[in-house]
Amino acid sequence: MARARPSAINFYPTPDRPIPKPILFGAAALAIGAIVVIGAGRVTGVGLAGTPAVATVAQRGLALDERPDGSAALLDARSRAPLITVGEGEGAFAIEALRNLQRNRLRKGIDSAEPFVLALKADGRLVLEDPQTPQQIELRAFGSTNIGSFAALLDPAREENR
């Protein structure tokens, strides 16, 4: 019967082979340095990325209607008219984007009755916003086809200025 050989290299500390003090001091210095840099960034704003505050040119309220049969519809929040409808197991980018925002609301325990906002910003960006949370989805990150699906929902005749 083969007997297990004791390993010549231990990858964990033992009472007779503790972690060397210079390594512990280096790890502590690295942790403290990271906390100081993060704190300085939060206080001064240096190094932090954020969405610029830009005026809204046009907007439309959108609501998501999840139906018991597994289908879903994207509704105009004001008229409740269906804009996009998908069957069970199907998907459309616009509906999936709203489902993502809806899940975020559920996780945070926020009422889901408030509509989402599709906004055209003064700099030309198309943004899907959740007024209940600070979450925004920059739609240009998803390509021109998906931007087009949302741009078609933004009816210029129903512009509302904020």
Instruction: Summarize pLDDT for 99-120 with one digit per residue, the tens.
Output: 888 888 888 888 878 899 999 9
Task: Give this prediction's pTM.
Answer: 0.62
Choice between 56 and 34, residue whose per-residue pLDDT is larger: 34
In this prediction, residue 5 carries a pLDDT of 63
DSSP string spanning the chain? -PPPPPPS--SS-BTTBPPPHHHHHHHHHHHHHHHHHHHHHHHH-TT--------EEEEEEEEEEE-TTS-EEEEETTT--EEEEE-TT---HHHHHHHHHHHHHHHHT--S-SPEEEEEETTS-EEEE-TTSS-EEEGGGG-HHHHHHHHTTS-GGG----
Q: Provide the pLDDT for residue 26.
A: 97
Higher pLDDT, 157 or 77: 77
Q: How sure is the predictor about 147, in pLDDT bands with cuts at 50, 70 and 90?
A: confident
